[in-house]
Structure 1
Amino acid sequence: MLGPGGYIAKPRGELHAMWNAGPTPARIIEIISPAGFEHFFREVAELIAAGPAAAGDGGDLVERYGLEFEEPDWLPAIVERYGLTT
């Protein structure tokens, strides 16, 4: 866990998960290098804003950015340990 002012490095291609483990709102600054992937987040926000009718476009977005979403074997234990919900 990170506290205020903490930082973590996430190498490209490493499976990871992030969440706010406390009741206080958190802010994240993400530095992406090399540049370009930041556009993925903008496009996700646009899909969400477009509503449910645009949800099917998410697969195209994932493919275009070369992403793979999977559920790691360690995730259920983390969800249970921290009482996470979606």
Structure 2
Amino acid sequence: MASNITDAANTAGQKKGTDPTNPSIISSEGAIGKQFNPDGSLGGMAQKIGGPLDKDGMIGSQFDASKNGIAGHVEKAVDGPSNPTQH
């Protein structure tokens, strides 16, 4: 499963690297990825609903790029700003 996430992340990324001026579109700072942050449009809606969708809930916590959930694997795959891959 992790390799599928990595492959998808690499395919969808604009540029693999840690250049903050050109983040991958799916990294936590990219055009799509930032919508899943707690202050983004999708993440903000989940915060309002709360419960398991809250940023600390069972589902919402998987979208925290600094953790080892879905978002953490995507950040590592695209060398995103929150949890870059160690070289």
TM-score exceeds 0.5: no
Q: Which has the larger radius of gyration?
A: 1
Q: Give TM-score scaled by structure 1 length.
A: 0.29
| Greater RCO structure (CA 8 Å; 6+ sep) | 2
Q: Give TM-score scaled by structure 2 length.
A: 0.29
The structure where helix makes up a greater share of residues is 2
